[in-house]
Structure 1
Amino acid sequence: MQTKNGSFVLSGIQVGLKADDVDAYGDGVTRGQGLVLNDAYEQRTVVSGPAEMHSFNMHELKIVDGGQSALHILWKPEYIDVSELGLPDRKAGWVGNMGFREVDLESGNTVFEWWSLDHVPLQESSWPVSKLEGPAPTAWDYFHADSIDKSANGDYLLSARHTDCIYKISGQNHSVLWRLGGRTSSFASDEVQFARQHDARFVEAEDLRQIPQIGVEYMSLFDNSGDEYEVASASSALVIKLDLLETVATSFRRLMSPEEGTTRISGNSQILPNGNTLTCWGARSYTSEHSVEGRLVAEASFASDRFSNYRTYKAAWKASPSDAELTLKCFAWGTSVEKATTVCYVSWNGATEVDSWDFYRQDGEDHDSSVGVVTRTGFETSIQYRGYSEFALVKALDSVGDILATSRRARVKHPGQWS
């Protein structure tokens, strides 16, 4: 959920999983696209990667500048000189060059583009060297960018998982303004340690109830502390204060995982308007919300461990999908029509403003009679009543009783032995 021209939109990434597609990442990711949907879940914009890119990277689609443009991550394998690695048997090999671009959502033109191999030496990587022999698109994933953000003054914040580093990049000349973490950090810090991180974001001082200061910046990230490079006993949501004049980084706030332990992949942290922190704990399929004081105020998880989520967001999302998405199914049972009982199930996928459902039996072409109003209960709501009619319909009501939509009439299915 992001803002575009003052309104919330949904943005996401659609990827293909065809068996005959070339697998560039070793995990089934193939060519896809970014999508932006309005509050009726209608497609408004498609963000495509450059033609030379094998696939649309699934890690990021960030709407910026009030909805004028979007950020997404790029990948391309390149055969380059790798002699700086000091390998005894190889002087050249295939390396994954990762970067990002900002694209204008109206024209599709590239506003800004940046590539890691132009600015980040191979020796900054802490990822085991492999796949140098290719063949392309297989390559050593030395960098592995997983998030990109843009500041109000036009600079960028890039997280690279395989260098354990955050890079601030100039929007003017593409240079790396500073590094946080990794092997060549620009900041001295004993208390800010992280590894295999995700979701690095600029944070305004006001959002942390702080007074802005010249030479002081804030940022947040999700510290996985995963893989073999664990720097903590548990993953955490971390807010960092950066003193640019003294080049010192300090921990402003660190929220440890309520479930304890580390999560190897995924995760994000969001500072909410009320100052609370919403955190997705990655592959652990667990989300929590903490107050400013660090108190756990809400938590949620999937009912099955078969599911996981890459990120979690919270916002005041209101949506009114097409009436065509309003679905009503009704069934009758009993030994005869006279002894029938009918049950109806209704859902309206994505509708956020439904408070209750008004169910009707349809005994004739123009004769509808209400059989009851039922408070909405989650995704699907049902009603059961005595009697049978050939058709039924339902009306969606908001919190003051106004009609939001009326379903098509649904034929009531009944036992085949009825005459």
Structure 2
Amino acid sequence: MAPWWYTAGSALLLSLQAAAWNYSTYSSMGFQPPKLEVSKTGTTHPGYIFLGPRGDVQDAGSAALIYDDAGDLVYEGPEQVTANFKIQKLFGKDVITFWAGDMMSIGYGYGTVHILDDTYKEIYTVKLTGNFVSPDGSSKDSYCDMHESQITPRNTLICTAYNVTQHDLTSINGTSSQWMLDSQFHEIDIATNQVLHSWSALDHEADIPLTTSYQGLGKDVGTQDAPYDAYHINSVATTNHGYLVSLRHMWSGYYLFQNGSVMWQVSGDDGADFQQIGNVDFSWQHDMRVYNETDNGLVLNLFNNANTPTNEEAETTGISMAIDLDKKTVTGLRALADPNDPIHSVSQGSYQLLSEVDSHAFLGYGSISKVKEFDSDGNVVFSAQFGDDNAVASYRGYRCQWTATPFWKPSVSVQTTSSGATVYMSWNGATEYDNWVVYAASSATSTNNTQIIATAKRTGFETSATLVDPPTTFIQVVARKDTTVLGTSEVVSF
């Protein structure tokens, strides 16, 4: 059990200290994304960095963001609080997915899951509706929680949900009619938003008793507006026979049959149904994922926070372990940490296995505004920071391979100079172009513009070109790959 002083009111640092990040600005777009300070010390896996940063006093730049390994912005989405921004497969194609909505102060949220194609058009919007109760009794357009938005091999989507529920808490020295959060997940048909499968932790209290929670009840917890959070569901993975659910406040993962009953439990404290071999301790964890599953066992990866705002167990690590179902053992395989940068992440976080071939892994540190990539030997080959620790957060952080040509046109702005003008060009989200051409235009409506007055290689998010004595005050810019035109801007004047 948790110390008596650890209460639900301090559960997750999703309401961050008031702070803003150092940000970049551009002439062609009104973005202010966090500057990504990068250290690359080895060979990294291909892909871009996907983040959803937020800070209490910085609205501009709170969005789904993509960066390259140089720290340059590639894409910024609409200004909104986001989580789980990454690339997934849907019907065999790469799609962008992310949650957007409102985060509650004690660590869950209400929102929708957005699915975009490789032109950034939203092709599906997944919502969860039903008979849910919120802390203030208000109804929500969608009850999808930000912790999970996973597309399954069945081309469905799993989202977590938190339902405020009146329940008997006398077993943990409460009363018979207090309020708590029921941790749930729902598998949803993406096209129709029909719920295909649901699971509730409270429906399985016999297998997951409240008395095993490490989250203390606390004297100020147990009302509808301050419900007790015994479980805190934060990831759900599909398995051969059902699902694997991570409950942070239980320090445990639960393998569920398809009908929702518990097949087995693995605990970071005592192993639960398994004998621990080596260092397999974990606590306050996030992002449990299953690999190499057979009828005899599996590999389980997780982000081991080992900390909360009021409880410090150990340094935060990324852990891999082998679970042997025949021998009933759990054996440590590796624990990833940067010896030159010990981190204690009190909330959020992710462990992404980039490749089962070379075992590169990517960790997002949640409340600590850092991401790191590790090679197969556990060496840090990439590290990046996007704000002050415990002041700026991204619920998870990923490295994803992505190719996109936006459905919108490139952006351009012009600033006059004493000898002509400087042209600033960008194409938000485009990954394939490598150079720009600036054309003179005869009028604001001309379409057949062929006079080239400047060229420039792509440089980061925004590229500039200098015009000396331009023949006209109308220009148009074109983004190209080699000599192939990929995007053309509107005609602008200066």
Q: Deviations over 1:98-120 (max 9, x none)?
A: 11011111232222111011222
TM-score w.r.t. the length of structure 2 is 0.73
Residue 458 of structure 2 corresponds to 376
The residue identity in structure 1 corresponding to 2:144 is F
CA 1:367–1:12 in structure 2 vs 1: closer, same or farther (change >3 Å)?
closer
Segments of structure 2 that go 5 or more residues without pairing to the other structure are 1-86, 135-142
Residue 248 of structure 1 corresponds to 329
Q: Is the 8 A contact 2:217 2:228 kept in 1?
A: yes
Question: What does 1:227-306 align with in structure 2 at a 5 Å threshold?
Answer: 227=308, 228-232=310-314, 234-258=315-339, 259-273=341-355, 274-302=358-386
Equivalent-residue separation in structure 2 for 1:402 and 1:283 (angstroms):
43
Bigger relative CO (Cα 8 Å, ≥ 6 apart): 2
Question: What does 1:4-403 align with in structure 2 at a 5 Å threshold?
Answer: 4-16=90-102, 25-26=104-105, 31-53=110-132, 54=134, 55-65=143-153, 68-87=155-174, 90-119=175-204, 120-130=208-218, 134-151=222-239, 153-171=240-258, 173-181=259-267, 185-189=272-276, 191-204=279-292, 214-227=295-308, 228-232=310-314, 234-258=315-339, 259-273=341-355, 274-302=358-386, 307-324=392-409, 326-334=410-418, 340-363=419-442, 365=446, 368-388=450-470, 389-398=472-481, 400-403=482-485
Q: Is the 8 A contact 1:198 1:221 kept in 2?
A: yes
**CA RMSD between the two structures:** 2.2
Q: Is the 8 A contact 2:185 2:199 kept in 1?
A: yes
Q: Is the 8 A contact 1:60 1:71 kept in 2?
A: yes
Q: Is the 8 A contact 1:165 1:180 kept in 2?
A: yes
Residue 68 of structure 2 corresponds to none
Equivalent-residue separation in structure 1 for 2:108 and 2:473 (angstroms):
48
Specify the SS of the correspondent of 2:171. Answer: helix
Q: Is the 8 A contact 2:349 2:367 kept in 1?
A: yes
Q: Is the 8 A contact 1:164 1:181 kept in 2?
A: yes
The residue identity in structure 2 corresponding to 1:60 is E
Q: Is the 8 A contact 2:158 2:185 kept in 1?
A: yes
Segments of structure 1 that go 5 or more residues without pairing to the other structure are 18-24, 206-212, 335-339, 413-419
TM-score w.r.t. the length of structure 1 is 0.86
The residue identity in structure 2 corresponding to 1:112 is H
Deviation at 1:27, TM superposition (A): 5.3
Equivalent-residue separation in structure 2 for 1:169 and 1:48 (angstroms):
24
CA 1:300–1:237 in structure 2 vs 1: closer, same or farther (change >3 Å)?
same
Q: Deviations over 1:192-233 (max 9, x none)?
A: 10111100001127xxxxxxx65121110000110254442x
Q: How many residue pairs were aligned?
A: 385
Equivalent-residue separation in structure 1 for 2:269 and 2:203 (angstroms):
18
Q: Is the 8 A contact 1:39 1:321 kept in 2?
A: yes
Equivalent-residue separation in structure 2 for 1:37 and 1:352 (angstroms):
15
Q: Is the 8 A contact 2:369 2:387 kept in 1?
A: no
Q: Deviations over 1:105-155 (max 9, x none)?
A: 12322221110112221112111203776542531011111111112x241
Residue 20 of structure 1 corresponds to none
The residue identity in structure 2 corresponding to 1:160 is L
Task: Report the structure number with the largest CA radius of gyration.
Answer: 1
Equivalent-residue separation in structure 2 for 1:35 and 1:294 (angstroms):
34
Deviation at 1:357, TM superposition (A): 1.0
Q: Is the 8 A contact 1:94 1:132 kept in 2?
A: no
The residue identity in structure 2 corresponding to 1:56 is C
Specify the SS of the correspondent of 2:275. Answer: coil
Q: Is the 8 A contact 2:172 2:217 kept in 1?
A: no
CA 1:271–1:133 in structure 2 vs 1: closer, same or farther (change >3 Å)?
closer
Q: Is the 8 A contact 1:131 1:138 kept in 2?
A: no
Q: Deviations over 1:319-374 (max 9, x none)?
A: 111133x111112122xxxxx32001111111111111112233565554223321
Deviation at 1:303, TM superposition (A): 5.7
